[in-house]
Structure 1
Amino acid sequence: MTHIRDHNGVENPMEAQGAATGGSATPPQSPANGVTAEAAEARETPQKGAGQGSTAAGVSFGDSEGPAVLVVEPLLPQRLRRPSDALRFLATMLALAGVVLLALIAKQTLNGIEADVEVGTDRAPAPLVLIAGFVGGGAVLIIPVVFAVERVFHRDGLRVAEGLIAAITAVLLSFALGEWIIGSGPQDVRQLLTGGRPGVEPLNTLLTSVVAYMTAVRITRRPTWRALMWTAIALDVFALFTSATATVLGVAVSILVGLGVGFGTLYTVGSPNTRPPGSAMVAALRRLDFKPVKARRIEDDLQGSRRYAVTLDDGRRIDVTLLDRDRQVAGFLYRLWRRMLLNSETRRRAIRSLRAELEREALMAYAAQAAGVGTPKLLGTSEVGSEAALLAYEHLETRALEDVPDTQITDEVLTAIWKQVRLLQAQRLAHRRLAGESIHLDQDGNVVLIDARSGEIAAGDLLLRLDIAQLLTCLALRVGAERSVRTAAAVLGPDALAGALPLLQRIALTRQTRAALSRHKNLLSDIREQIVELKPRAEVAEVRLERFRPRTIVTIIGSALAAYILLSQLTRVDFVRVVTTAEWAWTGLALLASGMSYLAAALMVRGFVPEALPLGRTVLVQFAGSFVKLVAPAAVSGVAINTRYLQKRGIPPGQAVSSVGASQLIGLVFHIALLMLFAYITGSSAPSSLTPSRGLLVVLLGVAVAMVLLLSVRPLRRLITTRMGALFSGVVPRLLDVLQSPRKVIEATGGTLLLTLMFIVCLDACVRAFGGSLSFTAVAVVFLAGNAIGSAAPTPGGLGAVEASLIAGLTLSGQPYEVATSAVLLYRLLTFWLPVLPGWASFTWLQRHQAI
């Protein structure tokens, strides 16, 4: 009877004879620089008794090189869904979309390539054409069959079955796509895929299925078979071109669809599990001159790598980490996103080879040991076959800081943690993952740092400062900002904390820390305040970690859509007729109204600020806002630049925000009131009804529905209420200050009304300039409704949304589409594009004079 520990450390009796049935030989060790194609095939070919070295009970013996060693571990799955297959599938789909879009954009170029290919194949000698057609057509069918027979002889029929699944799927998919493209697909795509020739398949069914088959059976890992297969495909494609039964785009799409189906099949069905079992790990330890007698699988580490607790013959225990090759691409998309988002010095490689990962962790462990840092001692490293590598550490009885009660995290413990960080920083070592799960305490209360795989040696100042910012935040989540900063300053000094001050940004922290900060909204601000109290006059340059913000992507996409909308509108306007038929007297009035709107905006700002503001400079600030609208949404640009202007005038930030918030709130109230008033007047002008016209009612209902849908989404509603609450939190006290001065009240209300009326006059004059006959009140309703939609758009200045909503409103109100489009484009030219140049001049002048 043999006693074996389970995963909870409890000993259970188990018959040794029963456990022995699951033994397996250790996989042969591969050369350090890789493996041969035959070895790669052998790894993925199921062998008798090679079920991963484990029985159903999860127990196996070591190899025959020494005494039997019991290894307790869960039964490893026979097949795995490899993240690398999913990434290849995604990359193939992106390539397919890119090829199709590029073909649609460069149709003339593709047609020229198609003509060149036809000319070249027509000049080919007839015997060559005959041989290519015969050999290529036969080879693409014979080679897969021969490969399948070879795999069956090697007892790898399951791989052949996967290839057949992929081939059948590819046939069905290519047939379905071809029928859809021919029947109801886009005409341009159909023309490019078939060349307009009858009988040409949009996707070549044979080519698609063969590529899917060879991808699913992983024929690319066999160089000889790969060369034969691609040669046969090239000959077959040449034959298709000579017979004019395929196009360049059709061949490219067929190959990409086949690759996508093959990779999709591999990920869906899974691949044979080539991870070495615990017995292979034991054999590798013996080659390192360790003498294991017992091993059991314990909880995976923070990176998802397998870990084993191994007992040696002298009673010592070591902890072994296994790095599996197929795990190296896990989390690739997240790392790729961070790599694109962050500056080069802070980002990590999206994909690192198994050898690089092993060397990185080993080098960091040795460097930390040399620096005197409390960390488990690295005892040895080794490859485990060709699919894994191990690192053997000494075992330390510790517990993670996140498992330590708050009452036991004393100032002495915090000081000890910071001393370990000081040792790292003295040797220019960056840990890069200083969080509760990486900081441990041993039985004597000593600090132990683990999980240094993401660390950097010879780190730059930025990475070292990032470590301080990360640890400050992590400890503050447990003990508060004051204790975290105080203990750090006692060890590192105030200057080091001041250097980390600009790096206290959410984007700089680990994923777990960012998640914890969502429950402590003001923690980073509290840490900054504590550091400023220690070093009130610290001069530290601002650090920009992000290459771009996610909202920048939204703005770019929105701007692209807006440009598309505008271009589609412009193509439907006859500018020659517009210029020759426009009444330019009305255009002059529209230009005057547009200019007066800046004076009205200045009066509105002055009215909501109790302090005195110069009228001329305030008008220049409003012109500068028209320049800022080019890079910011309409609802943001005016608020930002006016707030900055008031702060530069000596008004405290809180009061400046409140003043601008008061103007925005009152402006919103006036906007809604005027919309209701003009809608009522427009409806009452009808002889038999006191309701607005049908078109205006549709516009109003559309705005209402959009607002209801926006507020019905909980995250959006929370975002709006949070932003509005922050903007209007101090509005009421500021309004009370304004109400004490009748002159300020007149300026505020008069400026608000005049601003709206000037925009309405401008749009009405633009409509009349092109022969429109809409009433002033109807134009007012269209403007007020359309401007509300445009202000909510994320594009700069509401670009695209304002034009579309105003054109729709004027068209629904009875104006011809050409008149509505011309009027709106002239209106946007006068109010958005024309003020850009004076706005840039005003912005530059105000900056030079420190006014904004």
Structure 2
Amino acid sequence: MTPTHDNAVDRRQAGTAPGEPGGREPRAQRPEPAEPTPAAAATVDEPSLPRRIRRPGDAIRFAASVAGVAGVLLLVNIAQGTTQGLQTDIREGTERAPHVLLGLATLVSSFGVLAVPVAFAVERLLRREGLRVAVGLLAAVIAFALTVLLDGWEIPAAPGGVLDSLIWGGSRTAPLHTDITPVIAFVTAVGTAGRPRWQAAIWTMIGLAALTGLTAQYASVSALAATYFLGRAIGYGTLYAVGAPNPRPPGAAVLAALGRLGLRPVRARRLPDRDDVRRYGVAVEDGRRLGDPPHPDAEWRLEVTVLDRDQQTAGMLYRVWRLVRLRDRSTRRAVRSLRRSLEQESLMAYALHAAGARTPQLLGTCEVGTEAALLAYEHVPGRTLDALDDAELTDEFLTDLWRQFGLMQEARLAHRRLEQGSVLRDDSGAAWIVDLRAGETAANDLLLRLDLAQLLTTLALRVGAERSVGTAAAVLGARALAGAVPLLQPVALNRGTRAALRHDRELLTRIREQILRLEPETEAAPVRLERFRPSTIVSIVALTIAAYIVFPQLSDVDVGGLVANAHWWWVLVGIAGAAASYLAAAWMLMGFVPERLPLVRTVLVQLAASFVKLVAPAAVTGVALNTRYLQRAGVRPGPAVASVSASQLIGLAMHVLLLVLFGFVTGSTGTATENLAPSRMIVIVLLAVAVAAGAAAMVPPIRRLAADRLRSMFSGVLPRLADVLQSPRKLITGFGGTLLLTASFVLCLDASIRAFGGELAWTSVVVVFLTANALGSAAPTPGGLGAVEGALSVGLTISGLPAETATSAVLLFRLLTFWLPVLPGWGAFAYLQRKEII
């Protein structure tokens, strides 16, 4: 007899939850092979499973092995003394070891390192796993060829310190070992999981071979480590490229597992996967006896979720990134075992059902062989939110959904994935919570508020911010919604929701506004969820590259001699040029704003931008800070953005015109700077930019993104420019400030060059500055760090300036224009904030 829902509840309450220590093993985990199951006569409608699959875990292990090789090379490069000392200690230790044992180990390893893998291959062939052995042989061949190739390349190409650490005794052997690497690659590709005896025998032989190399002093520890990681990388890379045999159990095995739970499946069909998780709809027949033929009118009663072991690593890198980046104090793990995933979803299903929330009842769990596990839920006829029409999203349905959500919140259960696929509307119009894989029990306040922000956004994407907030407030109350306001930011939402928000960037703002209307005293400042921003990583990489470029140049520079012989009056001229740039930037902004702005305050705003640009790209900080300043000065948001965009547009046009003009003048002169930026080079650069822009425009996502950015940046610019053109004074101020800004920086750069005894034609200095400034504005690093220094150093050197003079001039120029203004910029920023000017 098929168990009813009540019987299933009684059975669950009588035992303990799966994995609970000290409790009786639940029925879901007890096999009952005593009598045949009806699954033998059941039918499964599903497409054929692929014979081979590419497992995400193999790709991750390949990347980790490659990182291991790079780590070994880096370690021997920066810790040569340590590695050589370790080798010396090993040599001295092996000299005291009994020679009989060492000789025996050498004899056994020389024979067994190849014999044992061959025997393992024969055993696999006898078990009809020839394709797996063939993949292993392919990996071994690739490993052998690559090892020989690297040995021939690395000896002449590797730095002396690295080479000395990889080999023993200078030149006695190759850095990598062709006898071990293919064996490691073969074993990795074939796989020894589940065969502990073979695994122990093979790795014992590999370990003895490594020990023999150390005792005979023809292998070093670092070389053996590099050999191990390289063999692993080749094995996993080959396995991922070719594909591994599919270990996923078919639908017939799933139905057989259901039979062991006491359920009587008649037929099943494969449902669409949900985030790479297999699902089956299963029909069972009440009152059907064992051995009875299937009845064609059996009803769909179960929805079975199958967790495949190879899918547990899918999305691991993204989960690691989120765990490292966000401050959500989550108990989630980036790497989840099959057992943990099964227990996590089971516990969440039981807890949600006990809380009284409407969710499909979990009838049982069971392992399906060694590579999968299943969860059998009652089938709820209905459709998920993403499949519903707008007319079906009534206020009654939304209110019922918020009631179910309120029960979750009261029980301190966090769903973590409240997207459209996690909400179901049954045939009667009731709301159900499904897809509990990522749920957490005993959730903290932050996780509960994150769930609230996620569901508010999910519903607002379908019904709008007003209905989403209104129906939620009717159930939860306005005060409860206020807790979600600081978390209404893209980084707090799921990946699919963030992608949907790209089509409606103002949705989160509208949700906040609706909540603030209900609860005006709400704290609206966003909660800092990120430990660091992606731009921080970009900045670190850029600074590393810049240091790699600049520091080698500094090693050849006699800084003391240059400073002793520097002309300090030119440093004062450079300071004057840097100071004039802030006045020029203020005039540039004031010229494109029809409203009257005080000069001193505007100059202070430009000075404050020198502090803010430490944490964001220069182009972004200037626009954001000036826009906020104009709004605080009484300019409406639309005209404020248009005014700043107009000044930026004119500045960009002036920059390009000056670059072309001075590039032509520089290429037309007979000075020694002809090879810096001749007119032919300018044409090539412009054509290259045009081709790159055209290629980018052919990609629809990039084209739409660029169009949206340009539209939002320059909407209303032309009317704003028309207002400015009516005032000649404003026109002169704006264009004069634009030209003065470039002239100030050129004066500072030229003075920095002359301060160290260098001299260049002023046209060359203009071209070098304009080129470097363009690269700095495009670089996604604070103040263009890395890009500006590199471009200036290369440009001045090409112009004919000695490398040490060019490097010193660039450092002085950046000191005057970027680093020294930071402290006064911070003071200006604090003052303006205190006065509520920005």
Taking structure 1 as the reference length, what is the TM-score of the superposition? 0.84
Structure 2 match to 1:547:
531
Give the secondary-structure state (helix, strand or coil) at the position aligned to 1:543: coil
> Cα–Cα, structure 1 residues 435 and 791, in superposed 2: closer, same or farther, change >3 Å?
closer
Structure 2 match to 1:566:
550
Partners of 1:319 and 1:800 in 2: how far apart?
56
Structure 2 match to 1:233:
206
Q: What are the Cα deviations for residues 435-469 of structure 1, in whole angstroms up to 9, with x where unaligned?
A: 33332222222223321222222333333333333
Q: Which amino acid aligns with 2:492?
A: A
Q: Which amino acid aligns with 1:758?
A: S
Could you tell me whether the CA contact under 8 Å between 2:182 and 2:231 is conserved in 1?
yes
Structure 1 match to 2:215:
242
Partners of 1:795 and 1:341 in 2: how far apart?
19
Structure 1 match to 2:745:
759
1:803-842 equivalent positions in 2, closer than 5 A: 803-842=789-828
Among 72, 77, 83, the residue aligned to 1:104: 77
Could you tell me whether the CA contact under 8 Å between 2:326 and 2:530 is conserved in 1?
yes
Could you tell me whether the CA contact under 8 Å between 2:345 and 2:438 is conserved in 1?
yes
Structure 1 match to 2:15:
none
Q: Please state if 1:412 is matched with 2:399.
A: no
Deviation at 1:705, TM superposition (A): 4.6
> Cα–Cα, structure 1 residues 153 and 768, in superposed 2: closer, same or farther, change >3 Å?
closer
Q: Please state if 1:475 is matched with 2:456.
A: no
> Cα–Cα, structure 1 residues 435 and 582, in superposed 2: closer, same or farther, change >3 Å?
closer
Q: Which amino acid aligns with 1:826?
A: L
Structure 2 match to 1:785:
771
> Cα–Cα, structure 1 residues 213 and 394, in superposed 2: closer, same or farther, change >3 Å?
same
Could you tell me whether the CA contact under 8 Å between 1:711 and 1:717 is conserved in 2?
no
Among 42, 46, 49, the residue aligned to 1:70: 42
Partners of 1:98 and 1:139 in 2: how far apart?
30
Give the secondary-structure state (helix, strand or coil) at the position aligned to 2:484: helix
Deviation at 1:262, TM superposition (A): 2.3
Among 264, 269, 289, the residue aligned to 2:262: 289
1:185-196 equivalent positions in 2, closer than 5 A: 189-195=162-168
Partners of 2:99 and 2:767 in 1: how far apart?
74
Q: Which amino acid aligns with 1:728?
A: F
Q: Which amino acid aligns with 1:105?
A: I
1:212-231 equivalent positions in 2, closer than 5 A: 212-219=185-192, 221-231=194-204
Deviation at 1:575, TM superposition (A): 1.8
Partners of 1:728 and 1:347 in 2: how far apart?
45
Unaligned runs of at least 5 residues, structure 1: 1-31, 34-60
Deviation at 1:156, TM superposition (A): 5.0
Q: Please state if 1:425 is matched with 2:425.
A: no
Partners of 1:63 and 1:296 in 2: how far apart?
25
Give the secondary-structure state (helix, strand or coil) at the position aligned to 2:677: helix
Among 259, 262, 266, the residue aligned to 2:235: 262
Partners of 1:282 and 1:352 in 2: how far apart?
25
Structure 2 match to 1:10:
none
Q: What are the Cα deviations for residues 295-330 of structure 1, in whole angstroms up to 9, with x where unaligned?
A: 444444455124241313435633333322222222
Q: What are the Cα deviations for residues 179-210 of structure 1, in whole angstroms up to 9, with x where unaligned?
A: 22235556554444334633412210111122
Partners of 2:654 and 2:240 in 1: how far apart?
58
Structure 2 match to 1:54:
none
Could you tell me whether the CA contact under 8 Å between 2:328 and 2:447 is conserved in 1?
no
> Cα–Cα, structure 1 residues 827 and 320, in superposed 2: closer, same or farther, change >3 Å?
closer
Q: Which amino acid aligns with 1:71?
A: T
Q: Which amino acid aligns with 2:86?
A: I
Give the secondary-structure state (helix, strand or coil) at the position aligned to 1:197: coil
Give the secondary-structure state (helix, strand or coil) at the position aligned to 2:82: helix
Could you tell me whether the CA contact under 8 Å between 2:486 and 2:523 is conserved in 1?
no
Give the secondary-structure state (helix, strand or coil) at the position aligned to 1:437: helix
Partners of 2:402 and 2:621 in 1: how far apart?
43
Could you tell me whether the CA contact under 8 Å between 1:682 and 1:693 is conserved in 2?
yes
Structure 2 match to 1:708:
690
Q: Please state if 1:695 is matched with 2:676.
A: yes
1:246-645 equivalent positions in 2, closer than 5 A: 246-314=219-287, 317-345=301-329, 348-645=332-629
Partners of 2:365 and 2:666 in 1: how far apart?
83
Q: Which amino acid aligns with 1:172?
A: A
Partners of 2:714 and 2:40 in 1: how far apart?
74
Structure 1 match to 2:6:
none
Structure 1 match to 2:786:
800
Structure 2 match to 1:26:
none
Choose 324-333 or 515-524, whichever is displaced more: 515-524
Deviation at 1:433, TM superposition (A): 2.7
Give the secondary-structure state (helix, strand or coil) at the position aligned to 2:366: strand
Deviation at 1:765, TM superposition (A): 2.0
Partners of 2:733 and 2:38 in 1: how far apart?
94
Could you tell me whether the CA contact under 8 Å between 2:51 and 2:245 is conserved in 1?
yes
Give the secondary-structure state (helix, strand or coil) at the position aligned to 1:198: coil
Choose 838-847 or 753-762, whichever is displaced more: 838-847
Equivalent residue pairs, number = 791
Structure 1 match to 2:11:
none
Give the secondary-structure state (helix, strand or coil) at the position aligned to 2:398: helix
Taking structure 2 as the reference length, what is the TM-score of the superposition? 0.85
Choose 98-107 or 840-849, whichever is displaced more: 840-849
Partners of 1:636 and 1:144 in 2: how far apart?
60
Partners of 2:434 and 2:561 in 1: how far apart?
75
Could you tell me whether the CA contact under 8 Å between 1:361 and 1:454 is conserved in 2?
yes
Choose 719-728 or 356-365, whichever is displaced more: 719-728
Unaligned runs of at least 5 residues, structure 2: 1-17, 20-32, 288-297
Q: Which amino acid aligns with 2:793?
A: I
Deviation at 1:364, TM superposition (A): 1.9
Deviation at 1:254, TM superposition (A): 0.9
Could you tell me whether the CA contact under 8 Å between 2:489 and 2:526 is conserved in 1?
no
Among 61, 67, 92, the residue aligned to 1:88: 61
> Cα–Cα, structure 1 residues 831 and 506, in superposed 2: closer, same or farther, change >3 Å?
closer
Partners of 2:659 and 2:313 in 1: how far apart?
56
> Cα–Cα, structure 1 residues 572 and 847, in superposed 2: closer, same or farther, change >3 Å?
farther
Q: CA RMSD in A?
A: 3.3
Q: Which amino acid aligns with 1:333?
A: L
Q: Which amino acid aligns with 2:690?
A: V
Deviation at 1:560, TM superposition (A): 1.8
> Cα–Cα, structure 1 residues 163 and 682, in superposed 2: closer, same or farther, change >3 Å?
closer
Give the secondary-structure state (helix, strand or coil) at the position aligned to 2:550: helix
Deviation at 1:256, TM superposition (A): 1.0
Partners of 1:253 and 1:534 in 2: how far apart?
63
> Cα–Cα, structure 1 residues 250 and 702, in superposed 2: closer, same or farther, change >3 Å?
farther
Could you tell me whether the CA contact under 8 Å between 2:68 and 2:226 is conserved in 1?
no
> Cα–Cα, structure 1 residues 344 and 411, in superposed 2: closer, same or farther, change >3 Å?
closer
Could you tell me whether the CA contact under 8 Å between 1:306 and 1:323 is conserved in 2?
no
Q: Which amino acid aligns with 1:514?
A: R
Structure 2 match to 1:174:
147
